[in-house]
Amino acid sequence: MHITRRIANNLHYFMAVPAILLFTLFFIYPLTQGVGISLTDSNGVTKPDFIGFRNFIDFFKDDRAKTDVSNTVLFALGSAPLLNLFGFLYALVLDRAFKGKAFVRAIVYLPAVISPLIMGYVWYFILQPGRGFLFYLLQNVGLTGGNWLADANSALVVLILVNVWQFVGMTMIIYLAGLQSIPRELYEACEIDGAGYGGKLFYVTVPMLVQSIKINVVTNIIGSLSVFEVIIALTDGGPGYSTESLSIYILRMLYGSFTGYSTAVAMILFIMIVIPVIVFMRFIRKQEFEM
């Protein structure tokens, strides 16, 4: 009886074992292997030699790598906030009752289920100067559509807007789920206290959407900093390296037989993703505590 009670009291530890094993197998083990490879001169073919932190030092001396870091950060700073802003606004509008609501939700969400590579190629043909749909549309209304993808000043902006247009539906769905879980009694209590739409939004909606905000911000930070497909499809990192992201840089270094170096860059990208996620999670936890 004592043994049975003891097993029952510690059952949750045994139930966690499969998850711990999977986490170790698919995260901890590859991470430790990656750290080991990043400290070598591996080319993926011959036996590697240990070179310490030389790959990391070379990365910070490479002007192209610095440009790619800048591109990746700028893309994330533009994409992640816009995804959350427009996703939240879409959710507020589509949470209301009106005819055709389900159809509009489906239209907004549809691009998110299409491959970013395919969607990138679709937008490439839309934006092409001389034969793209948007070029002819602007021409017919008396405007001149330039080659935005070939201009270093506008290419990154176009990439951000295309990425936001495609994935805003996914952000919207998560906010919608959060909105529909808010008890209507809270809004009624606010109305009794004399609160208007802004008061209900600030004191009820936003605080009750904290979990949805967590999910969306974290996933958008990760997705934006690891952007790959849309850039490959639309600009291929050009013109020059003005829109090349770290993910593309890692792939090209890997194909160039710089396995150790590309793994070191992947470790740097991993740190770039983890730091803002941790900072945000600590910030949102503090806000939850204060609320």
- List, for residues 31-79, the tens digit of each pLDDT value: 999 999 999 999 888 899 999 999 999 999 999 999 999 999 999 999 9
Which amino acid, residue 30?
P
The model's pLDDT over 68-119, given as tens digits with 9 standing for 90+, comes to: 999 999 999 999 999 999 999 999 999 888 888 889 999 999 999 998 889 9
pLDDT at 163 over 70: yes
What structural domains and CATH numbers belong to the chain?
63-119+152-290 (1.10.3720.10)
pTM assigned to the model? 0.90
Least confident of 115-119, 174-178, 228-232: 115-119
- CA angle 100/101/102 to nearest 5° reads 95
